[in-house]
Structure 1
Amino acid sequence: MGTRKPCPSVAREVFLMSIPTKSAPTRRAVLQAGAALAGLVAAPSVLRAQTKELVVGGAASHKPWVEGIVIPAFEKKYNCKVIFEGTKSLVNLEKMQKNKGSQYLSVVQMDDPVMILAVKEGLLDPLTAAKVPNLADLVSGAVHMDGMWANYLQPWLGIAINTNAVKTPPTSWADLFDPKYKGRIIIPSPQNTEGLPLIFAAASLATGSSLEAAQKEADAGFKKLASLKPNLLTIYTQMPQAFNLLEQGEALMIGPAMSSYVSERKAAGAPIDLIAPKEGVFAMPSGIAVVKGAPQQDLAFAYVNELLSAPLQEKLVGPTASLGANKLTPKPAGLPADLKVIQIDWANVAAERNNWVSRWDRDMAL
C-alpha cells in the first residue's frame, strides 16, 4: 500500500497559509513554505518507516493461541506489530520459494518434514546461541540440522479411547494387538504424519528394542503390523471421520492419536481420552525457523527466542495440549511426571517415507 498524500486543495491551503499576507512574499518565505509542504507530504512515510512489522507464517489451527497469547505479549515487549498468516506448512514453503531474494515472511512455524525441504532449498537462516539464547534450554532432539530450526512445542501421540466403552484403559502399545479388540481398532495411514510412529511401535514390540532404536527397524515393524489386521475397523487419512467412529462407539481405540485433536474433541464433550503407553509417547513436530533474507531480522530471532522460552511455553502447553520443548516448562496437568517422550528421527523419515507408504499400500490393504 502506497503512502497516502494530502489532496491538492489541502496542500495548496497549507502552502498559502504559510506565506505572510501583509506584504508580497519574499523568496525566503516561499522557500520556507515549500519546505513545510514537503514535510507534510513526507511525514506519513517517515512514520511508517519507524513502525516495526513482523510477518509470521504458521498453521491456520494455531491462529487462536498465537493471536491470543503470543502476539500481544511480544508486541508489548518489543513495541512492534506482528501479522500472523495462518495456512498449511507446504503453502508457507511455496511462499518462501516464490519470494526467494525478496522475502516478506520473517518467521515460519512449520512441520519438521517441510522444514527439511526448506533447508535443502536454502530458505532458512540458522539459529545460533548468540541470537537465540534459549536454544541452550531445549530438550535433546529439539534442535535440528545444526540449528536450521527448532521445536517450540511438541504435541504427543498416544492411544485414544472411547471412555464409555473401554473401562480398563490400555497401558501399552501392545494392547492395540490384543485379539479381544477384533474389528474395533482404527489406525492412521503413514500418509498422515501421525501414522508413521505406529511402524516404530510395532518394530519395538517385534524386536524388544527401545522405541528410539526401533525407528531403524521398519522391516520388523511391517511384519508385526500384519498381525494387527484382524483388529482393524479401518485405516484413516481423514482424522475427523475416524474420530466420529470412536466417539460413536463403533471403534474402541485409535492409535496413534494426536494430543491436540483429542483435547479439542474432549473439551467439546466427546467421550474420549488419550492414554500414554508405558513404553513412551512420540513427540510430534512443531518447528520454528527464521527465513533467510528475512525483513526485521533482529525481531525475527527475538520472536523465535520468545517461543522457546519456558515462561511462554508454560502458557501454551494447556491450550495446545502439548509438551514444552524447553526443559524448564512444566508438563501439562494429568500427565505422569516420569512420562517418556520419544523424539522422531525426521531425517530418517524424509529418506524412507515414500518407501514406507508404498509398502503399507501393498501389505496393509484391508
Structure 2
Amino acid sequence: MVSETHSIIKTVLFFAGSVFALSASAQSTKLTVAMYGGNWGDAFRSCVAEPFTKATGIAVIPEMGTSTTTLAKLQQQKSAPSIDVAWMDGGISELANQAGVVDNLDPVAIPNLKNVIPKAVYRSGNTTYAVGSGYYSLGLTYSTKTIKQAPTSWQDLWKPEYAGAVAVPSPTNSSGVPFVVFMARVLGVNPANLAPVYNKLGTLDTALFFDSSGAATNAFQSGEAVIGAHFNVGAWDLIDKGVPIAFVVPKEGVWATDARLHLVKGSRNKVAAEKFINSALTPEVATCLATKLYLGPAVQGVKVSSDVARKLPWGVNGSVDSLSLFDWNAINARRAEITDAWNRQVAHKR
C-alpha cells in the first residue's frame, strides 16, 4: 500500500513538474518581430506588442528597419531565421513570398483572419502569405502658410507659383515606382507606354525627388517643399505636432498600400508567432492603429471618431474602396524598367 502511495505521489509530482516546465517555457518564450521605426514602431509596440506580452507573458523584441532591410535580413537568415514575425509593405511582401522566406498563415492557428476584409488577405495558390494590418496612402501635402487655397488635383503640382518647391518620390522610395504608374491614371495615359508620363514629370520643377519618407518629412518641415506627395501617416504626424501643412485627397484619388504581417518560414517560435499575428487582427488593435497612425483599418466593423476618420488614407467620406490599389506583381515586374526610364528621362532634367 505504501509502495502504491509513493508511486502515485511520484506520478503526480512528475505531471506537476511537466506542467510547470511547459508553463515556464511558454512564459520565457521571446518573439523577434521586424517592424518599422519612428512613430510606426511606437504604435506597433503600444497597440500590438505590449498588450500581447501582457496577455501571454511572451516578450516581444523589436527588430527595427524598413521593409527592404527586413527582406534582406530574411534572405540572409533563410536557413536559420532569428526573426519570427515581420511587418513589410505591399510590394516587398510579394517579393518576400517569391523568395520563399514567409510561411503560410493557417486560419486554424490564426482564427482572427476571418475578421479581415478579403482584399487584405494575400494568397498565392493555396498559400496565405500575408495579412494587412492597415492601409496608408500617398496624397497631396502642402504648406498652409504659403498656399491659402487647398489644391484639388495632382496636376496642381505644375502650377508656376510652386516652381522649385515641389516634392515627389523617386523610384528609390517604395512609393516611387507605383507613383509613376498612378500618374499614368491621373494623366489619362496607357500604362503600357509610360513615355508621356516621364515627359510630363521631366517638366516638373522640383525641390527634391525624395528617396525616403523621412526626407519628405524634413522637406515639408523645413519649408524646402511647399507642395508635393507624402504619406498620410507622415503628413498627419507633422500636422499633429503643429507644423503648418495640410493633407488632401485630390479629385483623382490617391495611391495606397498597406503594412502587412508575415510569419517567417522556419521560425523557432511558430506557435507563439501565430498567436502574435492573431492578436493583431482584432477591432481593438485596428482602432488603436487608426488612432495613433491613421492607418485605414483592414479589420471589418471598426468604428473611429470623426476626427480620426478624416485623417484616414481615403479622407473625408471615403473608404477602402476609394483607394487606388495596384497588382504588386505587375508593378514589381516593371520596377527595373521604370527606374531606368526615370533616371534617363526625369532625374537628369533637374
Percent identity, aligned pairs only?
25
User: Who is 2:31 aligned against?
Assistant: 54
Give the alignment of 1:2-13 within 5 angstroms.
Answer: none
Q: CA deviation at 1:94?
A: 3.9
Task: Give ranges in structure 1 of 5+ residues lacking alignment.
Answer: 1-43, 209-213
Amino acid in the other structure paired with 1:251: A
Q: Is the 8 A contact 1:149 1:287 kept in 2?
A: yes
1:349 aligns with 2:323: no
CA distance in 1: counterparts of 2:198 and 2:81, whole angstroms: 45
Compared with structure 1, are the counterparts of its residues 139 and 167 closer, same or farther at alpha carbon in structure 2 (3 Å cutoff)? farther
**Aligned partner (choices 129, 151, 156) of residue 148 of structure 1:** 129
1:127 aligns with 2:105: yes
Amino acid in the other structure paired with 1:124: V
CA distance in 2: counterparts of 1:87 and 1:358, whole angstroms: 26
* Matched length: 316
User: Who is 1:323 aligned against?
Assistant: 296
Give the alignment of 1:73-152 within 5 angstroms.
Answer: 73-146=51-124, 147-152=128-133
1:192 aligns with 2:192: no
**Aligned partner (choices 263, 281, 290) of residue 263 of structure 2:** 290
Q: CA deviation at 1:180?
A: 4.6
CA distance in 2: counterparts of 1:148 and 1:53, whole angstroms: 22
Task: Give ranges in structure 2 of 5+ residues lacking alignment.
Answer: 1-19
Deviates more, 1:179-188 or 1:118-127: 179-188
Q: Is the 8 A contact 1:165 1:249 kept in 2?
A: no
Amino acid in the other structure paired with 1:333: A
TM-score of the two chains, using structure 1 as the length reference: 0.76
CA distance in 1: counterparts of 2:106 and 2:172, whole angstroms: 33
User: Who is 2:286 aligned against?
Assistant: 313
**Larger gyration radius, structure 1 or structure 2:** 1
CA distance in 1: counterparts of 2:146 and 2:255, whole angstroms: 25
CA distance in 2: counterparts of 1:158 and 1:266, whole angstroms: 14
Q: Is the 8 A contact 1:158 1:281 kept in 2?
A: yes
Q: Is the 8 A contact 1:160 1:253 kept in 2?
A: yes
Q: CA deviation at 1:83?
A: 2.1
Compared with structure 1, are the counterparts of its residues 80 and 235 closer, same or farther at alpha carbon in structure 2 (3 Å cutoff)? closer
TM-score of the two chains, using structure 2 as the length reference: 0.80
CA distance in 2: counterparts of 1:238 and 1:100, whole angstroms: 27
Q: Is the 8 A contact 1:199 1:218 kept in 2?
A: no
User: Who is 1:254 aligned against?
Assistant: 228
Q: Is the 8 A contact 1:141 1:343 kept in 2?
A: no
Compared with structure 1, are the counterparts of its residues 99 and 187 closer, same or farther at alpha carbon in structure 2 (3 Å cutoff)? closer
CA distance in 2: counterparts of 1:268 and 1:316, whole angstroms: 18
Q: Is the 8 A contact 2:179 2:255 kept in 1?
A: no
Compared with structure 1, are the counterparts of its residues 83 and 166 closer, same or farther at alpha carbon in structure 2 (3 Å cutoff)? same
Amino acid in the other structure paired with 1:362: R
User: Who is 2:246 aligned against?
Assistant: 273
